[in-house]
Amino acid sequence: MWAPSATSNGNSGPIRIAPTRGAHRLAGVFLDAMRELGTPTNPAYNGEEQTGASITHVNQSGGWRQSAATGYLKPVRHRANLKILTDASVRRIATTGKRATGVEFSRGGRVEVARARGEIILSASAINSPKLLMLSGIGPGSVLARHGIDIVHDNAGVGANLQEHACAHVVGLVNVRTSNLDTGGLPALLHAARFALFGAGQATYVAPAIAFVKTRPELDYPDIQFHFGVYGYDFTPEGVRMLDRPAVTLQPNVNRSRSRGHLEIRSADPDQAPAIHPNMLGDPHDLETLVEGVKYGQRVLRSKAFAPFVVGEHKPGPAVATEEALVDHVRHAASGVFHPCGTCKMGIDAAAVVDPALRVIGVEGLRVIDSSIIPQIPSGNINAISLAIGEKGADLVLKGARAV
């Protein structure tokens, strides 16, 4: 069984990293099963060697999640040179010629413009940053012209290069109580009490264990990431429906996916959501890799470690009995894991939206600093990477300010 040990994490900084507290005992069985299949236990998977399985590292302190707002904004919110506006929605970046000069936003039913003497920093996500650039006249010229937006800078890369970690689910039925049975009544109160008393347990996590797996031993890096959850559910036309039987979910996703999607605005209306085209399995490599990840997850459930607990396979299920059927199942069941990135790609090539200093190409006084600048989706969740982009971006802004 897994036991916590020292990792390569530091112990200072605004965001704490710690192992999940009070993980379900089947999380340890998952680690045993992974080791049985050749994926070692690696509690330092955020260090130099990523391959391996571990109790999940989380951004928590005493069971409480530490977000970017908690770690970075809350400690400085009373600074005299900082003004935080809530319930405000940015509409577009105001420009004068080729220079960004302000931010147009709506608040309380009014449209206002905040003027900038220095730089404007756009940090609105891989979805909204390219949307706002397009609304501001920075993006594919054909799209902007179609919606009557004056072109400030024609760049086909804005909104392109959209990437995600395509995933599928392997669900096993087990003989041990799992959290999908605890969504109300006394069991939910017990979880709440455990959190209140100890800052631990089901109220502090979704996936208590994780693994980075090589589906082929000759690979240089893990091509699949697993999230392990002690629950089971189905998607229905009405939404998510929890299973009425104990279950575990293994969620393999493709690490360095090759598929590329895009997004674009539907109109010049800032309140209208953009059209998003994920195209997550557009490259055959991603489909093949995800199919192999599902097969690996099935082998985990059939391992000796899980033998005392697993009583059947719910997904893909016995009806998916051939290779062709499995490929078809994965193609139709695949989804994303909320890791969109890449839509304002950093680089020096023709497809780049920002340069290596995160300055928007073709426009002065404007930078993008968020996950949209990632050129290639990495192996692993992108929260920590987004924080690192913010740290580096802040250094670049300060360096630029000192040079003036």
Average pLDDT over residues 58-86: 93
Is the per-residue pLDDT at 260 higher than 50?
yes
**pLDDT value at position 214?**
96
Is the pLDDT at 5 greater than 60? The verdict is no
Distance CA 183, CA 191 (A): 10
pTM of the model: 0.93
Q: Is 339 a catalytic residue?
A: yes
Q: Are 280 and 259 in contact (CB under 8 A)?
A: yes
* Amino acid in the structure at residue 188: A
- CATH class of the domain defined by 18-68+169-333: alpha beta
pLDDT, one tens digit per residue, over 177-197 is: 999 999 888 988 898 999 898
Q: CA angle, corner 369, sides to 150 and 392, nearest 5?
A: 150
Q: Averaging pLDDT over each range in 17-21, 104-108, 195-199, which range is the top one?
A: 104-108
pLDDT at position 256 over 90 = yes
Q: Which of the two residues, 48 and 41, has the higher pLDDT score?
A: 41
pLDDT at 215: 94
Residues 6+ apart with CB under 8 A from 189: none
List the single range of 7-16, 50-59, 205-214 with lowest mean pLDDT: 7-16
User: Over 60: is that where the pLDDT of 7 sits?
Assistant: no
| Residue 79 confidence (pLDDT) | 96
- Provide the Cα torsion 300, 306, 312, 317; round to 10°: -10
What are the distances in angstroms from CA 141 to CA 47, 136, 159, 266? 43, 12, 12, 14
Please, are residues 351 and 345 in contact by the beta-carbon 8 Å criterion? Answer: yes
120-144: average pLDDT: 98
- Is the per-residue pLDDT at 299 higher than 80? yes
pLDDT band at 9 (very low <50, low <70, confident <90, very high): low
pLDDT of residue 237: 87
Considering the candidates 24, 57, 191, 339, report the single residue annotated as catalytic.
339
**pLDDT computed for residue 241 by the predictor:** 94
User: Residue 345 has what pLDDT?
Assistant: 98
* Domain 88-162+343-403: CATH class, spelled out: alpha beta
For residues 340 and 261, is the Cβ–Cβ distance under 8 A? no
| pLDDT at residue 403 in the model | 75
The predicted-structure confidence for 307-350, as pLDDT tens digits, reads as follows 999 999 999 999 999 999 999 999 999 999 999 999 999 999 99
Per-residue pLDDT averaged across 30-44, rounded? 97
pLDDT score at 6: 46
C-alpha distances in Å from residue 339, one per residue of 223, 249, 255, 332, 380: 16, 19, 11, 19, 9
Secondary structure of the chain: what % helix, strand, coil (to 5)? 25, 25, 45
Candidates 128, 140, 125, 139; CA nearest to 95 is 139
Going by the DSSP 8-state scheme, the letter that residue 286 receives in this structure is: H
Mean pLDDT calculated for residue range 290-315: 98
* pLDDT over 70 (residue 4): no
List the one residue out of 394, 397, 392 whose CA is nearest residue 374: 392
What was the pLDDT predicted at 12? 79
Share of the chain above pLDDT 70, in %: 98
Break the chain into its structural domains and give their ranges. 18-68+169-333, 88-162+343-403
- pLDDT for the residue numbered 142: 97
- Determine whether 126 is exposed, middle or buried from the number of CB atoms within 10 Å of its CB (0-12, 13-18, 19+): buried
